[in-house]
Chains A and B, each alone.
Chain A
């Protein structure tokens, strides 16, 4: 007898873009419907070391680690701000306890697709929600979309929310 599928833990991958907000709405809606919790993951793509050094110098940090730490804290703050704003906007229409839907915020350096797949493999998530920018065939051929790469490696059900 097959176990009935359930969604109790959702991983929301966000790039903090406009389209990611639609994915956020979707994840919150799913979480509400299934009394699930959402973990928000943002991956900071690595920049070349020389660019990182320039940024460090320009922004006035002592070293790269200080810059990385600071930017991680800033990003978590930004994501928290996003979530607060989102919860404030939807409270009337949706759940009063919106904040409780969000369990954790993860900010990770690395390759976005690789890190997202890593978390779907190692974490106890039942579904992944992420936005898709809808690149053209040519753009995809040269750059490859993150959602497309994730689709190939992801072993858990995945909601892909297209840009409007």
Chain B
């Protein structure tokens, strides 16, 4: 880490945003950890290429139209997220791009020379490919050259498991 509470150079963090609950939790955690003067935020949402292709395939419009609508929606969502999470006090950049999420996250981490990447780790919800190749977080980790701050949902510890123990007395 380049910076601490008294340092003049704020940390630059890239937050990978997918609008999930755990992403919002991750954002809350980092915002709680740093004062606005200590941190520059880059919010990045990657529109998965597969989603664009699916939209075109199912006749949601031609490519240009689909992209225009998707990019517009995501920008709006990022704006409202920034407002909701009170990020306006931070030096903030909002980026929307298309591609393969883990590749774009790594590319932008390099491009913006970030101190670390923040990812909410939710597991592999609903992505069969993730069973073989790991979720986005795992794939980011495999190729990234920057530190990654993974924040689990709620940051809560697992509760102790209770198991029935059969006995004959």
Chain A interface (Cβ within 8 Å of chain B)?
A: 2, 4-7, 26, 29-30, 32-33, 120-121, 132, 134-135, 137, 140, 147-148, 151-152, 154-162, 164
On whether the beta carbons of B137 and A151 are closer than 8 Å, the reply is yes
**Cα–Cα, bound, A119→B83 (Å):** 37
Contact pick for A5, options B134, B141, B155, CB 8 Å: B155
Interface residues of B, count at CB 8 A = 31
* Given the contacts A148-B134, A161-B147, A155 and B152 also touching, CB distance less than 8 Å: yes
On whether the beta carbons of A29 and B32 are closer than 8 Å, the reply is no
Contact pick for A155, options B133, B147, B158, CB 8 Å: B158
Chain B interface (Cβ within 8 Å of chain A)?
A: 1, 3-5, 28-29, 32-33, 116, 121, 123, 133-134, 137-138, 141-152, 155-158
On whether the beta carbons of A121 and B158 are closer than 8 Å, the reply is yes
On whether the beta carbons of B142 and A134 are closer than 8 Å, the reply is yes
On whether the beta carbons of B141 and A162 are closer than 8 Å, the reply is yes
* Chain B residues positioned under 8 Å from A135 (CB to CB): 142
Contact pick for B29, options A5, A121, A148, CB 8 Å: A5
On whether the beta carbons of B150 and A160 are closer than 8 Å, the reply is yes
* Given the contacts A30-B1, A151-B121, A155-B157, A164 and B152 also touching, CB distance less than 8 Å: no
Output the least CB separation between A141 and chain B (Å).
8
The number of inter-chain residue pairs (CB within 8 angstroms) is 79
On whether the beta carbons of B152 and A156 are closer than 8 Å, the reply is yes
Contact pick for B157, options A6, A30, A120, A140, CB 8 Å: A120
* A contact face: mostly helix, strand, loop, or mixed: mixed
**Cα–Cα, bound, A32→B33 (Å):** 14
**Cα–Cα, bound, A140→B138 (Å):** 11
* Chain B residues positioned under 8 Å from A6 (CB to CB): 33
On whether the beta carbons of B32 and A26 are closer than 8 Å, the reply is no
Contact pick for A154, options B29, B33, B146, B152, CB 8 Å: B152
* Chain A residues positioned under 8 Å from B149 (CB to CB): 157-160
5 interchain pairs, CB-CB under 8 A: A33-B1, A148-B138, A151-B141, A155-B156, A160-B150
**Cα–Cα, bound, A160→B112 (Å):** 19
On whether the beta carbons of B141 and A147 are closer than 8 Å, the reply is yes
On whether the beta carbons of A148 and B4 are closer than 8 Å, the reply is no
Output the least CB separation between B13 and chain A (Å).
12
On whether the beta carbons of A26 and B147 are closer than 8 Å, the reply is yes
**B156: nearest residue on chain A (CB-CB)?**
A155
* Given the contacts A7-B33, A33-B1, A137-B142, A162 and B147 also touching, CB distance less than 8 Å: yes
